[in-house]
């Protein structure tokens, strides 16, 4: 099991990469920002993107929560959710709405699962806002699993047409 110091350093390093992603996106360099998202995800999971993206988002959640304290697991999950939300913003800049939607939906699910399954007393500042993620998704009708997570977290599910 990785030490607490290792996990804290890892979160700090990935946090620096997250700041780089935001700066790149704000400079209208979304392709560069997406490359930094990839590098941050590789660092967070300790594996190359080719391997990492063979897993589902639910498997990613389990991978991030299997070692360390609940607080460390929460911080890793929320860091991943923040990176995923930034990828969604990059895809918006690149005029790729379907990819943006998928990224925002994944970030929402991660944030909701962290809210429900991990301690929530002291959320890190980088944690994505559930409200902002829902706004980014616009009129998208949520799948039943995501709607159930949203309801369990105390937020109203979106109405089906």
pLDDT of residue 114: 94
Predicted local confidence at residue 160, as pLDDT: 44
Note whether 59 and 75 are within 8 A (CB): no
Cα–Cα distance for residue pair 35/132, rounded to 1 Å: 23
> Tokens in use for 99?
């990819």
pLDDT for position 2 = 65
Contacts of 31 (CB under 8 A, 6+ apart): 90, 94
Element containing residue 20 per DSSP (H, E): helix 4-26
Helix (H, G, I), strand (E, B) or coil at 116: helix
Using alpha carbons, list the distances in angstroms from residue 147 to 56, 74, 81, 111, 152.
18, 21, 17, 13, 9
End-to-end CA gap in the chain: 47
The three-state secondary structure class of 39 is helix
How far apart CA 63 and CA 76 sit, in angstroms, is 10
Note the pLDDT of residue 10: 80
Residue 123 confidence (pLDDT): 84
How would you write the pLDDT of the chain (161 residues) with one tens digit per residue? 567 677 778 888 888 888 999 999 999 999 999 999 999 999 999 999 899 989 988 899 999 999 888 888 999 999 999 999 999 999 999 999 999 999 999 999 999 999 999 867 778 889 999 999 999 999 999 999 999 999 998 876 554 44
CA dihedral (146, 152, 157, 160) in degrees, to 10, reads: 60
Please report the domains of the chain, with CATH numbers, ordered by start residue: 4-153 (1.25.40)
* DSSP classification of residue 50: H
Query: What pLDDT does 157 receive?
Result: 56
């Amino acid at each position: 099991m990785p030490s607490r110091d290792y996990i804290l350093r890892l979160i700090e390093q990935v946090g620096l990469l997250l700041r780089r992603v935001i700066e790149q996106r704000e400079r209208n360099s979304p392709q560069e920002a997406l490359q930094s998202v990839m590098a941050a995800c590789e660092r967070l999971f300790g594996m190359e993107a080719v391997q990492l993206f063979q897993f589902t988002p639910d498997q990613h959640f389990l991978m991030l929560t299997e070692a360390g304290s609940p607080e460390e697991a929460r911080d890793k999950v929320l860091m991943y959710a923040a990176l995923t939300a930034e990828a969604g913003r990059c895809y918006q800049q690149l005029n790729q709405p379907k990819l943006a939607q998928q990224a925002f939906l994944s970030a929402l699910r991660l944030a909701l699962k962290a809210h429900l399954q991990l301690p929530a007393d002291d959320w890190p500042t980088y944690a994505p806002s559930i409200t902002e993620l829902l706004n980014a998704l616009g009129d998208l009708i949520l799948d039943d699993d995501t709607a159930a997570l949203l309801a369990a977290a105390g937020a109203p599910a979106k109405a089906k047409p």
